[in-house]
């Protein structure tokens, strides 16, 4: 009886009326206009190493980036830094040429042995095992790093590696054997002048890694005839595909195949992590964390010495559940980014890996 009274229609009507009033009274978000101080108006200023300009030109803090300074030896020519090289030098003597680069990378980029063997391959030396690795100690500014003297039949590399504050620094001189040998002492002295300096010091040569100054994109003086690649004869060029610059089909035993595709974008890339995880998704692998990807990434220098290729090698399964392998490389070149991908049968890719990596390394973009 009482319940019926409580739920009477007039009561409910009253209740609804009251609620409507409450709901109507509720505020709505509005556009606000206000005056905000400029960056400089926010005292006290903090170091440039720890600040950046946000898209709205107000100071916000960000992790500091590694900085390095040096004193260029007299016989070395300073070249403009590239997107990967914070220091870039050319050494010439008569017909002989060598180059020296300072390259910072986040994390350990594959590890010591992996990098040294890659460098050995570049000067036509066979890979070595961990026990066979010959290392010298070298002073790099205030700290001690490792130096590797890799003397090949024609070309040599002298390179130093230093891991500092989560960044792997490569100081790498490569070129004609005699010239490199002659400049080894100069490089060792040069490394002593390295300073991992705060940016406020404003020394003669200062580079902020990994952000290099913009490169001159007009180097080719309008002689751009399109990129060229060295490919083995048995790779069969595939039909044109949307967004693919070039592609090849490779046949293996038992009708097994692999396909290589090259794409290029004017500086437009989705991020190493997103791309690597997208590739992993294509072969049914779960995404990796940023740190895992850093460990999985391998680095190799392109043969023109102008950039470095990052590549990953994964084995998973295709849509039909068949085991499949993929090696994908990212090469920043000038303002563009080039993507290389070989995808297909595990055995075919194992056979073609060297040729694929050579394709990536020897690409001529001019």
Partner 1 sequence: MLRRLLNFFSSLWLTVVLLALALVLVFIGTLAQVKLGLYVAQEEYFRSFFVWWQPAGTNFKLPVFPAGWLLGTLLLVNLLVAHIKRFKLSWKKSGILLIHSGLIFLLVGQFLTEVYQVESVMRISEGGSKNFSEDSRKNELAIIDVTEAASNKVISIPESFLRQGEEIRHPELPFAIRVKTYFENSTPTGKMDDTPGKISSTHGIGKRLQFAPMKITATMDDDNKPTALVEIVGGNETTGEWIVSTWLNRYPWFESLNAQMGSLLEGELEKPQSFTYAGRNYEIALRAIRYYKPYTVTLLEATHDKYQGTEIPKNFSSQVRIDNPKKGEQREVLIYMNNPLRYEGETYFQFQMNAEPGMKSSAFQVVRNPAAITPYVSCTLVGVGMIVQFLMHLVAFGRRRNKATPTRVVSEPNPVDVGGAR
Q: Which is closer to partner 1, CB of 29 or CB of 218?
A: 29
- What's the closest the beta carbon of residue 304 comes to partner 1, in angstroms? 18
Q: Which is closer to partner 1, CB of 231 or CB of 337?
A: 337
Q: Which is closer to partner 1, CB of 334 or CB of 344?
A: 334
- What's the closest the beta carbon of residue 90 comes to partner 1, in angstroms? 22
Beta bridge partners, 157, equal: 150, 174
- What's the closest the beta carbon of residue 16 comes to partner 1, in angstroms? 11
Closest CA to 52 of 43, 44, 62: 62
Q: Which is closer to partner 1, CB of 44 or CB of 222?
A: 44
Tokens of 281: 């998704």
- What's the closest the beta carbon of residue 226 comes to partner 1, in angstroms? 18
Run of H or E including 41: none
- What's the closest the beta carbon of residue 362 comes to partner 1, in angstroms? 21
Q: What is the DSSP string of 248-293?
A: EEEE-GGG-EEEEEEEEESS----HHHHHHHHHHHTTPPP--HHHH
Q: Which is closer to partner 1, CB of 50 or CB of 313?
A: 50
CA atoms lying within 13 Å on the CB side of residue 19: 6
Q: Which is closer to partner 1, CB of 61 or CB of 220?
A: 61
If phi over 0 gives left and psi between -120 and 50 gives alpha, with beta otherwise, what is residue 210? alpha
The angle formed by the CA atoms of residues 46, 52 and 58, to the nearest 5 degrees, is: 85
- What's the closest the beta carbon of residue 364 comes to partner 1, in angstroms? 21
- What's the closest the beta carbon of residue 154 comes to partner 1, in angstroms? 32
Q: What is the DSSP string of 53-100?
A: E-TTS-EEE-----EEE----TTPEE----SS-SEEEEEEETTEEEEE
Ramachandran angles phi, psi of 57, nearest 5°: 65, 25
Q: Which is closer to partner 1, CB of 51 or CB of 362?
A: 51
Closest CA to 340 of 244, 257, 253, 274: 244
């Amino acid at each position: 009886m009482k319940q019926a009274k409580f739920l009477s229609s007039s009561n409910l009507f009253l209740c609804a009326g009251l609620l409507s009033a409450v709901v109507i009274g509720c505020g709505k978000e509005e556009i606000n206009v206000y005056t905000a101080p400029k960056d400089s108006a926010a005292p006290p200023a903090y170091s440039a190493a720890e600040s950046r300009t946000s898209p709205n030109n107000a100071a916000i803090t960000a992790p500091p980036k590694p900085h390095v300074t040096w004193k260029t030896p007299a016989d070395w020519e300073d070249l403009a830094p590239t997107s990967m090289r914070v220091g870039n030098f050319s050494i010439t003597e008569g017909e002989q040429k060598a180059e020296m680069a300072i390259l910072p990378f986040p994390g350990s980029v594959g590890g010591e042995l992996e990098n040294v063997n890659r460098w050995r391959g570049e000067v036509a030396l066979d890979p070595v095992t961990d026990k066979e690795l010959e290392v010298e100690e070298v002073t790099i500014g205030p700290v001690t790093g490792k130096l590797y003297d890799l003397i090949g039949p024609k070309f040599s590399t002298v390179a130093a590696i230093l891991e500092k504050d989560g960044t792997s620094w490569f100081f790498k001189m490569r070129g004609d054997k005699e010239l490199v040998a002659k400049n080894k002492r100069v490089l060792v002295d040069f490394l002593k002048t390295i300073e991992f300096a705060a940016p406020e010091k404003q020394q003669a040569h200062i580079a902020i890694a990994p952000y290099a100054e913009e490169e001159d994109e007009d180097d080719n003086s309008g002689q751009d005839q399109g990129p060229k690649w060295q490919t083995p004869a048995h790779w069969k060029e595939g039909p044109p595909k949307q967004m693919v610059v070039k592609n090849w089909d490779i046949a293996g035993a038992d009708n097994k195949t692999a396909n290589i595709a090259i794409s290029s974008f004017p500086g437009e890339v989705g991020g190493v992590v997103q791309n690597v995880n997208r590739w992993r998704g294509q072969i049914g692998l779960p995404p990796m964390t940023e740190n895992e990807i850093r460990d999985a990434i391998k680095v190799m220098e392109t043969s023109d010495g102008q950039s470095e290729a990052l590549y990953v090698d994964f084995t998973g399964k295709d849509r039909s559940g068949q085991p499949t392998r993929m090696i994908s490389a990212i090469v920043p070149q000038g303002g563009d980014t080039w993507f290389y991908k070989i995808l297909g049968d595990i055995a075919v890719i194992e056979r073609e890996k060297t040729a694929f990596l050579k394709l990536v390394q020897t690409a001529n973009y001019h």
